[in-house]
Structure 1
Amino acid sequence: MAENGRHEYELVYILHPDMDEEGILALNERLGQIVQEQQGEVTTTELWGRRTLAYPIQKHFEGHYVLHRFLLPPEATGEIDRFLRLNENVLRHLMLRLDK
């Protein structure tokens, strides 16, 4: 276990290709707020930019990639997953626990 019962997670998600920079930053800020509300801490955020997808997702061939690393209690991952699943701008997401 990491510090204070929190684990280290890595989250990569792909956003709708038509999103502008302001929308991407707003979504990232909201995700950061959710992590903090769940007693977590964002350690790294990397905007990888618009990239071509390996295969079409919902008829899109490109998407904006974003990487987050954070410390979070294990029971709080469900809230992050729920937020991403319900957001129509998120095409795909994958969250991995790093400190196993």
Structure 2
Amino acid sequence: MRPYEVMVILDAGLEEDVIRATIDRATQLVTAGGGTVGRVDRWGRRRFAYEVHHRSEGYYAVVETTAEPAVMADLDRMLGLADEVVRHKVVRLPDKVAGRTLRPVLAEDAGADSNANGA
């Protein structure tokens, strides 16, 4: 399981129910694939810096998930095919950012690294 962050920009002209249903469909796809959905942060309607598909604003939502890469590939495909979605981006978060710790560095490895740098 890997941590991901998904940014979804939906058409701002949609009804609130359609926006909620689209985000729910995305989160259900993750949970059905064995992943977990963390925080769903709904930013609301925001103005674009430039027009995208002849639209000047969109509804932004950020979803934090933990899932397998295959599940996220399915989510990426689903969002790409959805007519309601203007843009989306799936980003794998580094382990440090996601609150995970990397394996501890052994003292032998740390000494070898400092010698390699000329210290």
Q: TM-score normalised to the size of structure 1?
A: 0.91
Pairing of 1:61-72 with structure 2 (within 5 A): 61-72=56-67
Total equivalences in the alignment: 95
- Secondary structure of 1:61's aligned partner: strand
The structure with the greater share of residues assigned to strand is 1
Compute the RMSD of aligned alpha carbons. 0.9
| Partner Cα separation in structure 1 for residue 10 and residue 83 of structure 2 | 9
Q: State the match for 1:29 in structure 2.
A: 24
TM-score w.r.t. length of structure 2 = 0.77
Which residue does the alignment assign to 2:3? 8
Cα-to-partner distance string for 1:19-50 (whole Å, 9 max, x where unaligned):
11111111111111100111101001011000
Higher relative contact order (CA 8 A, sep 6+): 1
Deviation track 1:78-97 (CA, whole Å, cap 9, x = no partner) reads 10011101101100001111
Question: For 1:1-100, what aligned pairs fall within 5 Å after superposition?
Answer: 6-100=1-95
Structure 1 moving runs of 4+ over 2 Å: none
Q: Which residues of structure 1 form unaligned runs of 5+?
A: 1-5
**Structure with larger Rg:** 2
Q: Distance in 1 between matches of 2:70 and 2:78?
A: 14
